[in-house]
Amino acid sequence: MRKLNLKLGIAFMLISGLSLGQSSIKLEPSAKDITISKHIYGHFAEHLGRCIYDGFYVGEKNDSIPHANGVRTDVIEALKNLNIPNLRWPGGCFADTYHWKDGIGPKAQRPSMVNNWWGGVTEDNSFGTHDFLNMCELLGAEPYLAGNVGSGEVQELADWVQYVNFAGKSPMSDLRRKNGRQEPWKVKFWGVGNESWGCGGNMTVDYYTDIYRKYATFMLDWTNGAGLYRIASGANSADYNWTESLLKNIPGSLMKGMGLHHYAVINWDKKGSATEFSESEYFKTMKSAWFMNELVEKNIAIMDKYDPKGNIDLIVDEWGGWYDVEPGTNPGFLYQQNTMRDAMIAGMTLNIFNNNARRVKMANLAQAINVLQAVILTSGKSMILTPTYHVMEMYKVHQDAKLIPITLQSADFEFNGEKLPAVSASASQDTKGRTHISLVNIDPKKTNRIRVDLGGLKASNVSGRILRADKLQDYNSFKMPKKILPVAYNKAKVQNGLLDIEVPAFSVIVLELN
């Protein structure tokens, strides 16, 4: 009778979707010193919808929301808790219509413009260069400025560099002092245009290459004596010809980074709901998110061909999930909720970047607040942290840690005859000798049992946290802001150099071993 009950129990597990997948991971500690750059965990703030206004910035005269010079203090503290390493601004598509001199000086005297890209709203330029760079100082984040190449001129970008970076006497540094900032901000990261193949000017790669060379040359001096980190507008997803053309035709002395943009989208014409999605839509989203792995690997292969010494970095400065906007909101504001599906995208994508840290040196999640796969949502005085926020917070242990290469044999996540790896993972060791392993199981039904071979690393204690929910469609709302939170995970066991762990369906786990 017990055998029959056992068989019935197994059958019930299979029917109810509680069956187990079997996967294995082997850590392969290496003498090669590859650091997972903290800048992989960067963010993006565009003048789009309620990202800047009503997101970061509520105005200096606001007496209902606590702020520092108009920037929400709750947002500052939340982002500081992520150890936010960098913040990209002012776009995105907006960057190639933005004229920085409109955003300096007395705010009442700044000219307005129409933001044709995002909702046709009037932009009053009350949040400009000083506001952004001072905010980055509050955040402890390095600014990443996206220069206007589409509608701007070479002198305009050269003047911006001088305005924010030059300490001596010059027309632009004198203007900066007149506007209240004595010392320069010393901005290192500069994008030379954005999506130049599309909203940045619909340029051919040959035309953009020549434009890039021109702008990059005049941004400072021929030798780049101040060490600007200039980033070229890279390919749209799988346009490998664009990548190859940049590397063949732009001298390494003019380019330190090359961009790449890719969004996890089901269908650009019908993206689907952010919260009410089927298993079919979920699978398609995961398939698109996993395509990032192929994009990164193929771009790196091209980079290795033309830049074998590894002087140029891969910069994935836009990534994330993209769905239809929430009902009743402005279609041009790209406001969407953030579910456990987005946590799966975040965990999987960050594992891809970590494992390719030899070349991937920066990435920027789109976007920080109230837009696309945001880590923060605001509504009046209220602020909530999304599942994506919690993944970024759990993963911050990898920032500037030494990469531990892994070999992964994953069970399959199957749907309608198609397969994806159910498990993704990455590992690192910090300066205190602690090993961290991040694990994601995207399978919506199966727990994945994973055996981890520590590859000779010594560990006697293991602790961790897990992010999970009852349903894939669950999210944190303003009524229930803490529905999804990381909690302690203590089921992992270490014995004889092996770690056995069960990763529940659609969950993220980060372990610490010491």
Residue 22 pairs in a beta bridge with 449
How far is the C-alpha of 439 from the C-alpha of 481, rounded, in Å?
25
**Helices marked H in 307-398 — which ranges?**
340-355, 387-395
Write down the catalytic residue from 318, 326, 418, 512.
318
C-alpha distance from residue 131 to each of 69, 71, 80 (Å) = 8, 9, 17
Which residue do the tokens 């030379």 mark?
A: 192
- Concerning whether 502 is annotated as a catalytic residue, the answer is no
Taking alpha carbons only, the member of 96, 122, 97, 95 closest to residue 111 is 122
Taking alpha carbons only, the member of 352, 353, 320 closest to residue 338 is 320
Residue ranges of E strands in 249-380:
257-264, 313-321, 360-365, 376-379
DSSP 101: G
How far is the C-alpha of 199 from the C-alpha of 95, rounded, in Å?
10
Cα 249 versus chain centre, distance: 28
Residue 360 pairs in a beta bridge with 314
Which tokens sit at 213? 């060379």
What are the residues whose beta carbons fall under 8 Å from the beta carbon of 309, sequence distance 6 or more? none
CB 491 within 8 A of CB 501: yes
- Concerning whether 318 is annotated as a catalytic residue, the answer is yes
What are the residues whose beta carbons fall under 8 Å from the beta carbon of 13, sequence distance 6 or more? 19
How far is the C-alpha of 95 from the C-alpha of 109, rounded, in Å?
21
Taking alpha carbons only, the member of 205, 288, 224, 233 closest to residue 96 is 233
How many Cβ atoms sit within 10 Å of the Cβ of residue 77? 12
How far is the C-alpha of 246 from the C-alpha of 248, rounded, in Å?
6
Write down the catalytic residue from 123, 142, 195, 393.
195
How far is the C-alpha of 354 from the C-alpha of 359, rounded, in Å?
10
Active-site residue set: 195, 318
